[in-house]
Chains A and B, each alone.
Chain A
Amino acid sequence: MKPRLSLLAAVGIISASSLAYEILLMRLFSIIQWHHFAYMMISLALLGYGISGVLLALNRDRLAQHFPAAIMTNMLLFSLFAPACFLLAQQVPFNSAEILWAPRQLLFLFGIYLMLTLPFFFAANVVGLSLYRYRNQVASIYAADLFGAGLGSAGVILLLFAVFPEQLLTVLMLSGIAATLLVSIDSFDRSKYGIIASVIIGLTIIFTPTGWVTLKVSPYKSLNQLLQVPGTKIIDRYSSPLGLISVVKSETTPLRHAPGLSLNATTEPPEQLAVFIDADNISAITRYNGKPETLGYLDQTTSALPYHLKQLTDILILGAGTGSDILQANYHAIKRIDAVELNPQIIELMQIKYADFAGHLYSKPNVNLHIDEARGYLATTRKTYDLINISLLDAFGASASGLYSMAENYLYTEQAIQEYLRHVSPDGYLSISRWIKIPPRDEPKLLATVINALKDAGVRQPGQQIIMIRGWQTSTLIVKNGVISAEEISRLKQFCNQRSFDLVYYPGIAESEVNRFNIQQQPYLYEAAVALLGDQSRAFIDAYKFNIEAATDDKPYLFHFFKWRTLPEILSLFGTGGSFLLESGYLLLIAALVQAILASLLLIALPLRLWKSKLGIEPGSGNHLSMLVYFFSLGLAFLFIEIGFIQKFILILHHPLYAITVILSTFLLSAGVGSHYSTKLSHSTEKSAFMLPMAAIALLSIAYSLGFESIADFLLKMESWGRYLFSIILIAPLGFFMGMPFPMALAKISQTTPALIPWAWGINGCASVISAILATLIAMQFGFTVLIFLAVILYGVAAWCFPKIVATAGF
């Protein structure tokens, strides 16, 4: 029996909604909480897929008897629970900052997991049950599932441009209802359909959340901290997949945002408006009346140093944001300023809505604006600059879009530094300012990255080209495209003396010159710079208590500082409040992985032991173990390749959000086509036909990985549309073949032991949860190339298991 088109469409809609819900939850929790916790909650909620598999496996026939009604019920439950579970979850008083102090927070966290699992459970039931019901046509159902997911991933990003994330909950609810109505058209006669449809529509009207959905942002996020100040209010909100922007006006107590200000400063900033992204990451729009003298405070920060070293004419500001770096350049009367900013809504704020307030800063004749990602802009221009400036920019990595949150960051890698330096004119500067951390972590890691980049570029004495200074709050690292002169050193000293900033490093520095104004226990950064520039840099990096290994494009994790051997020491310091030393992002990933593995064991191994025959496994048959390995390997490998290539292609497409959206949906859509086409191969009697997709995946993955530099060189010369087009052309065949192994094996199983289809679905679900988390951990440790090769090995394992599954099918 063939599934009707309406059913396939409904399955597609539910899969689309489920994937959209996942991305949306990441967005919503990044706003109300912090993104690393969001990542953990949501990855674990996806265990709903695994739970569904087990439940279906144990009750498959009972549910299949009530087929259309059973999936319609699940569709309706998805519709209802998708918004309801989020609204309930945000009422839980979970405070991640308190988790190490108060054990009850763990209970809250667990409660949130459970709530968020439900919608995914219902969505998984729809697909799993359909796979079982139409077991002779699994490829069509799976194709509908993948197609839906592909459209859902692109659709949700488009919708996030149009509406606020909380409003999207309603859209998802309605799409679930639409899916239910679609199924009911073909499942009931006309009169019954009328009744059912009107009941559903009636309920929808009553329960659809509209005006009453408000986000409950944690009181400890910086937006809510500022809103505690009397006279402050949010005057504007803008939303896009890049983040939720809130503009805050302070009517009674002025906002004074001037991070890194020298202790000797006597001036305060002019009137300012605060701008928050995702209720955090404060920046300010400063009132500018065209008189540079009102901006004196900006000359009292460490980032002002390059302007004092020599006269600059042409500069580039990366991550221009709300414009404080441009104001700083204006204060120094720079003739030509190129400014790059990724988020068009920030630009809109500056150019239109608050243009008068900001003194039409972005429209000034000396300012040339580019809406682009930093490296994307540099890849398309041959211009060189006297100064490239990156100030306190904790870039948007892909995490901002909420897809994969362990903050990959391509702004601070060896390759990025080399790219910047190629665009610095002879004797010009690259200047990077960062927040001070104690004990230092990002600064030594950035230093290590810069030094490696210089060495790779053939610089024999990197130490001759580096300057570093610090205040109590910020540090600035300058890399010169040339040897630093005595004149520059004398200007540097004058600059620091006037502002009580400390010298960290310049060629020829003496230890007696450091750590004078902002005294640290030891001159950490000076020691780090000297060690990293010396012969013993390897030993220093190994001995350092945090991971300060240089970041590369293959391991773009500047903020990954965790070292296992330091963990026991930090744990022993909890009593004194040492928990801040814990690099919790990485540990949370580990915690998520452990939880996912334990839950998967519970979901896969326990039923296998307790209800073997109920699952449909024949006594004495060892087949199911091959099946387990096969589907588990596929589940792991699919996401490994997907995540590995998304990251690789970000380097070509640059814009993290668009890159992820395009590559992800290409993968899913082409996999959908592959799944549909797989029936042709499944019917083949040639054993080799089954090996074809695996071989193709391995070949393509290895070819792309090994030849990635040539591909990148070729594509980077193209216009933007060409890069996107060719990326799609490269990814589509890979996705096409990746869509095949799962339905092909299911098709075989349906001929021998169809009862095991839901179980296989559950295994795949559990493996996917583990895979997403494990992929990030592997990438952090070994890089994306290794991740892709591991996936190829996993496909090899699956290929090895395949004949054993097929054996009983008579081949």
Chain B
Amino acid sequence: MKARPRVELPPDVEATFARAMRLEWLSLVLMISTAVLVYATISHSQAMKAVFVEDALSLIPPIAFLITGRIRWRTPNERFPYGYHRSVTIGYLCSAVALLSLGLLILFEALMTLVHREHPSIGVLGLFGHQIWIGWLAYPVLLYSIACEYTMGRMKQPLAKELHDKTLAADGRMNRADWMTGVAAMLGMTGIAFGWWWADAVTAALIAFEIVRDGWENLKEVLTDIMDEVPTKADEEERADWAAKLRDHVRGLDWVRDADVRLREEGNLFTGEVYVVPRTLDRAEERGAELIRSARALDWRFYELELVLVEKL
């Protein structure tokens, strides 16, 4: 069986990818540290529990990225002739499902807390010989968490755009949701301190709602990817005109009477067919190979485009 060739990335993309891998390692370490700290200050607060779950969940995208980062560029072989790029989609699917299901769980618990009018009990912790109410400890912990999430989210966003990486983009979006969650949890904790027992559960419900929304958006996107949707932007600022660009380029070639393309996404890459109605079949192999080469020069994301010569479109 003829396997696809190995993906050759331009050096600058390769370097960006390596940077993204390093960033995800750092992110993983920071997220573990925040999750541990938040866990220590949960007490009986629903909001802090929601923050913890969200922090713990935000480990999944970096892990998915780091694992698939090793797999995705593997050389296609007899067993996987189309290569390993779909592993990215699998990683993305995992994080979306985890987000959605745990979000629903927290939302349910928070609403039940409100229905049962359960008051959150928050006790005292001994720290360096002082007895401190755990609610106060939650503030520095949450501030640390917010700082980590905010910076990580801001750093991942441009990389996700450059690499057209949806796992990374989802990860960045999750970081953004996480730091907002942190702010909400601070408000919830302040509510508890003032003796408003419901503030905690209301905040937890809002956070959970945000997690559910995030999970749902991601799930929708990953499912449409699996359905071979036309390439869509990974980041809001990315331009999604790759198909038009490629079609216009091919139409501009002198031996082409008319042309169209059919594209889908495979991880960071785009693949699909280029349909050409040729003016002439002279030196067709040579011209075809040149067309594919020039397409790759147009954008590094085009990979293994198939040239199909047709009578009419």
Chains A and B are bound partners: no
Seen from chain A, the residues whose Cβ lies within 8 Å of a Cβ on chain B are none
